[in-house]
Amino acid sequence: MARILGSISRRIQLAAGRGRLVLATTSILIAALLWFMQGSAVGTSIGLKSPAQLHSYYIEQGYTMEALRAGNVQVPPVFITAVPEGWAKDLDVKQKKSLFFRTLLPLVLQVNKDILEDRARLAELQKRSSGGRDLSRDDHGWLRHLAERYDVIDLKDSDSRDFPTAAQLAKLTLRVDIIPPSLALSQGAIESAYALSRFAVEGNALFGQWHYGKGLKPEKQRQELGDYRIASFKTPIASVRGYAANLNTNPAYRPFREMRAVARSNDRVLHGNALVAGLKAYSERGVAYIDEVRGLIRVNGLSGTDTAELEDGPPIELRAGLF
């Protein structure tokens, strides 16, 4: 990372020497604004011309599959802004999987980090509310917005008038929690064919989420199921956020959330290999799908990612169309 930042610094100094400091600075500010609009602040924006260069960059950061399998690894905050078409061309299966997992993982960790920040504030407000202390206007507004976002209340309905009740806060606590990275990586690989599917390339759709009447239409749409589409997203991280929201709110995945809560209460690490049992409804294949997810986690040694953490520091944007 230091090498990249040093390169950027030298470019700015060179631009200044040629009388182009304002232009260089403006370009960086524009890049920062664009990434902020996508849901994150940007520290550095880089472009790579090939998968080999991306792999070399990861190696320089000590970011390897071996490190991920060992567990408790610090993951560099690198965020891809789009799925490049044909990104895995000329790669063998092992290389394709390695780059896919390492590129998706920072997005998953960032989404989980944001969820944990909400969860921590929720816990504090719940403690204050249960202790009979009044919430500030700002805290109450934030809590109502969170409850609406997680489908606990609808601000247009009467169920929001007495908010927050103890039952509503308990339901919200059950929903505002992370997705085990190993689960997200394995499901992303299955649902997007390692980001090689048409839906991944055209709509950054990594998890095969359905959306009726809007999105990318499957070529062989089953008419008896209605006008279902594959939900599309502006960026890959938006797809991850949508996936997390789906698992955290969809009534079909309540078993997953309840299993996760039990693991939390016992102070256990949230492992995808165990919690995928609560996602039988994710696929028509049911148990066979769960077995496939578990097999993918096992064969690729993804359990170690469940203890991975995102490095502190400014995020690095991998520009769209980097290959």
This prediction's pTM = 0.81
pLDDT one-digit tens code per residue, 41-85: 446 888 877 888 889 999 999 999 999 999 999 999 999 988 888
Domain ranges of the chain: 2-111+179-194+234-318, 112-175
Q: What is the pLDDT along the chain (323 residues), one digit of tens a residue?
A: 343 333 333 333 433 444 433 333 333 333 333 333 343 444 688 887 788 888 999 999 999 999 999 999 999 999 998 888 888 888 999 999 999 999 999 999 999 999 999 999 999 999 888 777 788 999 999 999 999 999 999 877 755 667 888 899 999 999 999 999 999 999 999 999 999 998 888 889 999 775 545 644 454 544 544 444 578 889 999 999 999 999 999 999 999 999 999 999 999 999 999 999 999 999 999 999 999 999 999 999 999 999 999 999 899 988 755 44
Q: What is the 3-state secondary structure (H, E, C) of the chain?
A: CHHHHHHHHHHHHHHHHCCCHHHHHHHHHHHHHHHHHCCCCCCEEECCCCHHHHHHHHHHCCCCHHHHHHCCCEECCEEECCCCCCCCCCCCHHHHHHHHHHHHHHHHHHHHHHHHHHHHHHHHHHHHHHCCCCCCHHHHHHHHHHHHHCCCCCCCCHHHCCCCCHHHHHHHHHHCCCCCHHHHHHHHHHHHCCCCCHHHHHHCCCCCCEEECCCECCCCCCHHHCCEEECCCCCHHHHHHHHHHHHHHCHHHHHHHHHHHHHHHCCCCCCHHHHHHHHHHHCCCCHHHHHHHHHHHHHHCHHHHHHCEECCCCCEEECCCCC
